[in-house]
Every structure is written in C-alpha cells, then in structure tokens.
Structure 1
Amino acid sequence: MNKKKLVVLSGAGISQESGIKTFRDSNGLWENHDILEVASPEGWRKNQKLVQEFYNKRRKQAQECQPNEAHRILANLEEQMDVTIITQNVDDLHERAGSSQVIHLHGELSKAQSGINPELIYPIKGWEIKEGECCELGSQLRPHIVWFGEPVPKMDDAIQFAGIADYFLVVGTSLQVYPAAGLINYVPNEAKKFIVDLQKPNYHLSNDMIFIEKKASEGLKLLESIILGEL
C-alpha cells in the first residue's frame, strides 16, 4: 500500500522554539543591519567581511540549538507517510531531528559556495567561513544562502512535490516571502490543507484550508492526531 504524501512548507516559526531568532526579529541578529547589507549580492560586493561575520554568528548559534518537538513530530510521521519538507529555513534542524527528505529553498548555513559559480557547494567544518578560503576556481567562499535578487534553484523541485500532495501543511511562516508563498497555488484541489501558526497569515486562503492557531509544537501534536486518525 502506497503511503499518503505529506508536503510541508516550514518557516522561521518552527525553529523559533529551538531558540533560533526569526527573520527581522526585534532582538535578533538582523538588528542594526539593513537587510540588503547582509542578504544581497550588492552587500557582498560592498563588504564581504561584514557579511561573513553575520552568517558566521548565525551558523554558530544554529549549531548550538537543538531540534524541538515540532521537528521531531514531522520526522516521526515518516513511519506512516511519505513526507517531504520544503523549508525556508537555512538551519539543519529538520535533518537533525531525523527528516530524510528536506528541500532548502533559501540555502543552508552549514554549506559554502563559490563566489563565482553557485553550483560549486562545499560543507563547512566548524562554524566559520574564513577570509582566504577559496573554491577550486580561486574565488572567496561565501555563504550558501539565496540572497535577495538571486534565483531560487530548488523552486522547481518544490513545485513538483506540492503538486502531488495528499496533505499540505504550512507551519511557522507568514506566507509573505515569494516565491515560496506561491506553492499553495500548486497543491491539488482535493488535497487536505492546514496552516499551523500563532497568527493567521495575511494571505488570501482558500475556504478549505484549516487554520490551527497554536505554536508549532502544540499545533503539530494536534495535526498528527488528526492525520493519523484518518490513515
């Protein structure tokens, strides 16, 4: 018997319970930085040292955090379902919780890429990319992060999985960042759709989308019981 397909779009809210600061958090690592200074090709060309320091700090913090109950529930659901996680997060908490199929739309903190060829990607040992560390073409390594103005290479893969979902779950994201927010439009009409978040996204949601107004860990406990009760 084929397993039902659960496709998850996760955002910063699912990692917030692990202690990772959310994007533009009032007390977060983005504070005192114009976003374009640390998350754009222009910012990289202007001040590589600032950008490296910014992501080195984020990487160090992410490595010190642990997966939470929400991450673990999604990993455990693989026993009963075919689960694909499409995440806007750049941490590796889904993988560390045990999820085996994770698509990172916005890149991964744990990796570096060539400054001139984005297809050259390397694992990072430790938490730093240091000045003078270069790719095989001699270019300074930069964070493997999709910055503003750059294409989202994994988007086509994400669309394909959204298009075959039996269950589609949005958790911990406000649906304000495109193209990720547009994935909902590719989900089959007959699929069951859920949103788990403390605040209902300011997004035109279809009438068949079930909203669970809870933090990620609590909402996923409830959702797990709903889905498993149907299988």
Structure 2
Amino acid sequence: MSATFPHVLLDALRTTRHLVVFTGAGVSAESGIPTFRDALSGLWERFDPAQLATPEAFAEDPTLVWGWYEWRRMKVLAAQPNLAHHAIAELETCVPRLTLVTQNVDDLHERAGSTEVIHLHGSLHQPRCVACSMPHGTLSSAPGEPEEGRRLEPPRCLHCGERVRPGVVWFGEMLPESALQAAFAAAQDCDCLLSIGTSGVVQPAAMIPQLAAESGAVVAHVNPQPVSVHGPREFSLEGPAGVVLPALLDAAFQ
C-alpha cells in the first residue's frame, strides 16, 4: 500500500515536528451525519438548511430552529466515530505535536480520542445565550430518538432569562476570532498538513491549507473527488477518509 502514497508525503509524516489536521463535513458524513449539501428528508424536507441556520430565522421562529438543531444533535449523539476519526486520534501518538482544526460542529473527534480540538464553526453541544452569550451546559448528552419536524421551545438563560441559541456559527456570522487565529497560527507553523473531507472553498477556513503551503509545509488533501494542487509538495489523495487515512498511517508508521 505504501507505493500508492508519495514518498515526499510519507517522509513528511515520519519527520514532522508539527502536524496540522484540518477536517470538514466529509469526515462526519462517513458516520452518517448529513451535510448542508444534502437535501433534508421526512418532515424537514420542505425547509432549506441554509435558511434555518441564520440569526434571522431564530429571531423569527425560535421553536422551529431550536427543534431542527435538537434533531441534528440527536442524530450526532446516535452516530459513532468512524475509521477516519480513529486514525486522526491515533496520529496524535505518532507525531511530536498535532493540531486538529475542524469545521464540524459535532463531537466525533473527541469521542474518538482526539484532544484540544479547535472548532471553527462552534459546537452543537455548547449552546449559549442569544443576548449575553453565557454558556448553557444543561442539555442532555444521551442520544434520544430524533423527531423530525418537531418544534421545541429553547431553554432560557440562567443568567439573564433570554433564550438560549445553538452554539454554532450561523450564516452571516463571523467565525470565533480566537479559534480562527489559533488555526492560522498552526498552519503557518506546521511542516505538514492533512486537509480531510473539505471542499476547500469556504472562506476564511479555506485559507488554512493555503497558509501551510505558502509557509513551506507538505500539504495533502484527502477527498472522494480530486482536489487541484499547486506545486510538488501538495498532493490529492482520492477516496473515503475512512479508507485512505488508516492506509496512510500504516504506510508511514508501520
């Protein structure tokens, strides 16, 4: 299997001092988590996900939006980390330093054993007050039966009494500055970066692989579809992350 991977990439993984792993929706999709590109089904199919994921939608119809996000959260809690999540967690034991940056709002990386995950788009499991931004940590962490189309009244903030909102970044909102700057700094410091399951077109997160490449790092994109590369130290590895990553670890470290 090692012959299918570029020697430059294998050598970079074996000798890296700082590896960055950058993941997108494709990784979670392999665990059955719907992406925003997937059409909604059942009682949700009449809604556009992009129209539910906005501050305006929550202000206009909070029970609809909260019900949809609780349905999504239950889907996540019922899902399990896949082979890609586990391979990324194993990578932490193979290299001196690993920084994991994700665009996903689930906790599958953490459940697979990854530590110190930078969540660029927030988390379904960390809701906060819509007014004072105080964290609200009393939601159930046990998977329940997702109820499609069910409206739910959002809980109230224990600090100020306003509604609690999902702890994700909605369309039209800025990414959390501290997370974004930490991701940029890691990309500029690393000597190898794996970009996994992301289209690489959503800004500003798409700058992360670009910054790594500009800083001289070896960059590999793992995606079912080919990714355009620019230069001899950037590679496109085609295939499901749950297949490619375990094989890559075996080739580099076994």
Does structure 2 retain, via aligned residues, the 8 Å contact 1:86–1:158? yes
Residue 51 of structure 1 corresponds to 65
Of 143, 157, 162, the match for 1:139? 162
Relative to structure 1, the CA distance from residue 199 to residue 135 in structure 2 (aligned partners, 3 Å threshold; closer, same or farther) is farther
Mapped partners of 2:252, 2:187: distance in 1: 18
Deviation at 1:36, TM superposition (A): 4.3
Unaligned stretches of 5+ in structure 2?
1-14, 145-151
Farther off after superposition, 126-135 or 72-81: 126-135
Identify the structure with the greater strand proportion. Answer: 1
Aligned-residue CA RMSD (Å): 2.2
- After TM superposition, the runs of 4+ consecutive aligned structure 1 residues lying more than 6 A away are none
Deviation at 1:219, TM superposition (A): 1.2
Larger Rg: 2
- Asked if residue 100 in structure 1 is aligned to residue 115 in structure 2, the reply is yes
- Asked if residue 21 in structure 1 is aligned to residue 45 in structure 2, the reply is no
Secondary structure at the aligned position of 2:220 is classed as strand
Residue 161 of structure 1 corresponds to 186
Does structure 1 retain, via aligned residues, the 8 Å contact 2:128–2:135? yes
Does structure 1 retain, via aligned residues, the 8 Å contact 2:223–2:240? yes
Aligned amino acid, residue 194 of structure 2: L
Cα offsets for 1:130-156 (capped at 9, x unmatched) = 534224122110000101111111211
Query: 1:89-128, aligned counterparts within 5 Å?
Result: 89-118=104-133, 120-126=134-140
Does structure 1 retain, via aligned residues, the 8 Å contact 2:196–2:241? yes
Farther off after superposition, 175-184 or 55-64: 175-184
How much identity, in percent, do the aligned residues show?
37
- Asked if residue 5 in structure 1 is aligned to residue 18 in structure 2, the reply is yes
Q: How many residues align?
A: 225
Unaligned stretches of 5+ in structure 1?
none
Higher RCO (CA 8 Å, separation ≥ 6 residues): 2
Residue 226 of structure 2 corresponds to 200
Aligned amino acid, residue 98 of structure 1: G
Farther off after superposition, 18-27 or 143-152: 18-27
Does structure 2 retain, via aligned residues, the 8 Å contact 1:36–1:42? no
Mapped partners of 1:112, 1:25: distance in 2: 24
Aligned amino acid, residue 193 of structure 1: V
